[in-house]
Structure formats: C-alpha cells, structure tokens
Copies of this chain bind each other. A is one copy, B any other.
Amino acid sequence: MDMTSKLTAAAERLFDRHGYMATGMDRLTQAAGMSSRTLYKHAGSKAELMARVLTERDRRFMARLEVRTVDALFAALEDWVRVEGARGCLFLRSRAETGGDTPEIAEAVAAHKTAFHQRVTEVVSADLGHDDPGLAEQVLVLFEGATHAAVYRGAEAVSAARAAAGILMERART
C-alpha cells in the first residue's frame, strides 16, 4: 500500500469519526505513520486532503449504488451502515463544518450530490419503467433521512425507509 492511499485512508477515518476541524495534522501524521514532510508532499494541504477523501469516498459509495431497483438501493445502504456505521453524511458534514467557504471541499460535495441525485433518478426510472422525477425526489429524501436518522435510531431507520420506499413504488406502479 503506497503512502498516498495510506494517508487518504487514515484521513477518512479520523475526519469521519472526530470531525474535519477537530482533527489536527499531528494526529494525522501519527495515524498515517509518516512524517509531516511526507504528508504534505502527498496531501498538498488539509483542504486538498479532505477533498481527496471525499472524491475517494464518492467512488466507493457510488459503486455500491450500481443497482437496478429502489429496494436494492436501500439494501445497499443497509450494508453500508452495517460495515461503516452511521455518523451522517460525510459530504454534508464537511461542507457544514467549513461553512461552504473552502472551494475544494464545496466542489467535491456538490459533485457527489449531483451524481447521487442523478443515480436515484435513474434507478427509479429503471425500476418503474418510466421517468418520475417527483417519486425520485421522495426516494432521495427517504435515503437521506435513513442516513441521518440511523445516527440515533440505528439500523431500524434504514429498514423503515426501505419499507416506505416499497409502498411508494408499489403505488406508482399500479
């Protein structure tokens, strides 16, 4: 494992568990097991590092959402929560922590949320057989809600969202 991946992985873990602002670079060098000189050679800056973390996470997350049905969308979220835990959406959290004032971060977040919205819309279309932007918006809201409610309600929030999405899809189908 090269130093850049080791750094990105350590950064994602710390930023996600303790917050972006609350994580100092000292703690990061320690967790990544490298000197600060090496860290900055690969990271550029703290903001660039967070942007790289988000881009990498987008890749991993969106790969899991390569599905054909809305139900599979929520099944994928159940898997994600089981594996990664539920601490809310790292993208929205990063942007909120920086007040949207860090361009690299704001752009990475915007790119992810655009892609996410598009993916949900596509899956709803494929599952239904035709476009339905309003229903897609509802499914997106359920997904986002499951992500955030799971922080304090646990996995139950995701299965509730899954069931609700099932009802909405069934109603749209008939």
Partner of A160, one of B19, B87, B89, B141: B141
Partner of A141, one of B87, B97, B134, B157: B157
Distance from A78 Cβ to chain B, minimum over Cβ atoms (Å): 13
A152 partner residues in chain B, CB cutoff 8 A: 92, 110, 113, 117
Q: Which of A133-152 contact B (CB under 8 A)?
A: 134, 137-138, 140-149, 151-152
In the assembly, what is the distance between CA of A56 and CA of B156, in Å? 29
Partner of A21, one of B19, B113, B151: B19
Distance from A19 Cβ to chain B, minimum over Cβ atoms (Å): 5
A21 partner residues in chain B, CB cutoff 8 A: 19, 21-22, 97
Whether A153 touches B137, Cβ cut-off 8 Å, given contacts A21-B19, A99-B17, A148-B92, is yes
* Contact residues on A (Cβ < 8 Å of other chain), bracket: 35 or more
A164 partner residues in chain B, CB cutoff 8 A: 138, 141-142, 164, 168
Inter-chain contact B97/A97, CB cutoff 8 Å: yes
Q: Which of A66-94 contact B (CB under 8 A)?
A: 87-89, 92-93
Find the B residue at minimum CB distance from A102: B22
Residues of A within 8 A of B (CB): 17-19, 21-22, 87-89, 92-93, 95-99, 101, 110, 113, 117, 134, 137-138, 140-149, 151-153, 156-157, 160-161, 163-164, 167-168, 171
Other than the given A18-B99, A21-B97, A134-B163, 16 more pairs (CB < 8 A) read A21-B21, A92-B151, A93-B96, A113-B152, A137-B160, A138-B160, A140-B157, A140-B160, A141-B146, A141-B157, A142-B164, A144-B144, A144-B157, A145-B161, A164-B164, A168-B168
